[in-house]
Chains A and B, each alone.
Chain A
Amino acid sequence: MLSLDRRWIFLVEVIIVIGALVGPFSTGIKVTPAVSSFYDAIERSDPTEPILLAVDFPPSGLPELEPMIVGILRHAFERGQPVILMTLQMEGVAISERIVNQVERETNAFYEETDEARRITMGEDWVNLGFRAGFAAVILGLGDEIRNVYNTDMYGNYLDELPLMQSIHNYDDMALMIDISWSSTPESWIAFAGAPFGINVLTGITAVSAPQYYVYLQTGQLGGMLGGLKGAAEYEVLINRSGVASKGMVAQFGVHVFIVILILIGNVAFFALKGKRREEHTPHLPDE
């Protein structure tokens, strides 16, 4: 058992994931306090003030983090709350552009179907500022005057020409900021935006990074947190829009059960082998 070719494990995992995604399965999703705080923070915020949404991750973070951005945009647009997108990571430019366009199309299609006159438009409901190099300097600069950091949005429009941005100058004019990240950028947002300027910082992060941010939740430095695909699925439950994260939970459950079984079998096999070896090496005294 201990010499099992690991490729069999990969194969079984793939079969479980495909089976879970294709099959008619569903699983219960319990909402944790970190996610409900995240949702409540947005619900409590003034819908006339924009949300600053930083998309700070490369494509490898997409499976976990894309459902979060989709959920946040849907939530904000449903409340009529504008969103300012930006990124401290170069890849975030293309990612944020694709996702916001997709949610805009989907939301407008829904409004058309339901004969609502309302439409989501760039410049009024959302703005994408794009990438700026500088990290801490960018975060600190936004607290003073956005125009000193971003002269234009990512399409080259002057900020003062965009209706949404005309009255927005710094964090004081924003409802809250959300950093969707795969690295340590939420710590920078806490240190350089939350602490000095007092803006409520929320985060959505990959599961690998999640444990290190619980300490910031406990101290109140983070207003809420979505941790990995599970966090995204919980958020989908709260906004009542089941998406890819909720679908992925069945596969997560299946693979986790499989891994737990493997750990148990591995431990039993390990101790059994250890006991057997000890028995073999114990000298047997001849009977007198």
Chain B
Amino acid sequence: MEISTDIWVWIAAIFTLFIYSFLYKDNPLYKFAEHVMVGLSTGYYTAIVFHTVIVPDFWEPLVHSISKFTMSPAEFSSYAIANELTTLPTVLQDFSPVVAIIMLLIPALLGLMLFTRFIPKISWLSRFSLAFILGAGSGLAIPNSFQTRILEQLRGTIVEDQGSIVVPLFSIDAWRDFFSAPGIGTFFEAVSGPLLIIGTLCVLAYFFFSKEHKGVLGGAAKAGIWFLMIGFGASFGYTVMARVSLLIGRMQFLLTDWLGIID
């Protein structure tokens, strides 16, 4: 057993205990740790954004562009290559410095307009920035998300890829295998595909509100609730595991890195 002599390990351990003290009841030590964490996170985010976004994507390209204001696009491109201006976004090298400056100032202006949210009189200006963010985000996301979340998932409810071959989820072969060699393995193999199809249809029936849930639709919707509940149960089980993992992680830190009780 060797207790750590590293001051940072001690600080981390003490703050861990401060946070866990909340489990007993709310107290000033917990509040102190909470506020320190929020402050540190904000400082960290600001530093990272400044050094990885503001400086390389805006400030340095702007300084280079202003300093070579009178160059033509070809001269500017040659200058960027000759001086290994890797901080200059490649796209800007195809334009004259004047155009490059405009291309840098537009996003900077849109970014600054977001801060008008804090000034009620001109807060409407932030809507232009938000419209741009939403428009660009949707344009990027919709085609790819449609492919991956709808088309591929729809396909996955009908067929399954098994290496180079594609087999239907409702597989006659799987049932034939089950009847020729009955067992738990072959049973689950045969039943899992149809169960997935039925489960999907039943859950969809539950969320179909254009017709009253009566008769066949009502029965399917009720079965859909069961499928949903089983899904939620699995999620809850995983959530418990996740939360326990966090406790284990902290305990491993306290017992290993701090107190040195375990190797």
Q: How far is the CA of A150 from the CA of B213 in the complex (A)?
A: 54
Chain A residues, CB < 8 A from B117: none
A62 interface residue per 8 A CB criterion: yes
B-contacting 9-mer, from A74-82, A116-124, A246-254: A246-254
The listed residue (B87, B160, B234, B242) touching A151 by CB distance below 8 A is B87
**Chain A interface residue count, Cβ-Cβ cutoff 8 angstroms:** 58
Contact with A along B148-191 (1 / 0, CB 8 A): 11001101100011000000000000000000000000000000
> Is B6 part of the binding interface, using a Cβ–Cβ cutoff of 8 Å?
no
Cα–Cα, bound, A183→B45 (Å): 18
Question: Nearest chain B CB to A166's CB is how many angstroms away?
Answer: 14
B48 within 8 A of A: yes
B52 touches A130 (CB 8 A): yes
Is A169 an interface position by the 8 A CB rule?
Answer: no
Whether A286 is near chain B, meaning CB under 8 Å from some CB there, is no
Asked if A207 is at the interface (CB within 8 A of a chain B CB), the reply is: yes
Q: In the assembled complex, which residues on chain B have CB atoms less than 8 Å from the CB atom of A230?
A: 241
Question: A256 and B84: CB pair below 8 A?
Answer: no
Q: Tell whether A195 pairs with B144 under 8 Å between CB atoms, given A151-B56, A151-B86, A207-B239.
A: yes
Chain A 142-176, CB within 8 Å of chain B: the 1/0 string?
00010110011000001000000000000000000
Residue of A with least CB distance to B148: A191
Tell which of A21, A133, A192 touches B251, judged by Cβ atoms closer than 8 Å.
A21
Which chain A positions have C-beta within 8 A of B53?
133
Question: Known contacts A21-B248, A158-B86: does B156 contact A259 (CB below 8 Å)?
Answer: no
Interface of B is mostly: helix
Residues B52 and A131 in contact, CB atoms below 8 Å apart: yes
**A240 at the A/B interface (Cβ < 8 Å)?**
no
What CA separation (Å) do A228 and B249 show in the bound complex? 12
B234 and A248 form a contact (CB under 8 A): no
**Residue ID in chain B nearest A249 by CB atoms:** B248
B119 within 8 A of A: no
Taken together as a complex, chains A and B put the C-alpha atoms of A282 and B224 apart, in Å, by 36
Chain A residues, Cβ within 8 Å of B250 = 63
Complex: how many Å from CA A152 to CA B57? 12
Instruction: Report which residue of A140, A152, A211, A251 has the largest number of chain B beta carbons within 10 angstroms of its beta carbon.
Output: A211
Chain A residues within 8 Å of B57, by CB? 133
In contact, A195 and B148 (Cβ under 8 angstroms): yes
Flag whether B23 is at the interface (Cβ < 8 A). Answer: yes
Is the beta-carbon distance between B90 and A194 smaller than 8 angstroms? no
Residues of B within 8 A of A219 (CB): 152-153, 155-156, 161
Is B247 at the interface (CB under 8 A from chain A)? yes
Q: What are 13 residue pairs bridging A and B, where the CB atoms are less than 8 Å apart in the complex?
A: A90-B44, A90-B45, A133-B52, A148-B90, A151-B56, A152-B87, A158-B84, A207-B241, A229-B241, A230-B241, A247-B252, A252-B248, A256-B241
Q: Can you name 15 extra interface pairs (CB under 8 A) apart from A136-B141, A148-B91, A251-B248?
A: A7-B23, A7-B24, A63-B246, A63-B250, A64-B246, A131-B52, A133-B52, A136-B137, A148-B89, A187-B149, A192-B144, A207-B238, A208-B238, A208-B239, A248-B245
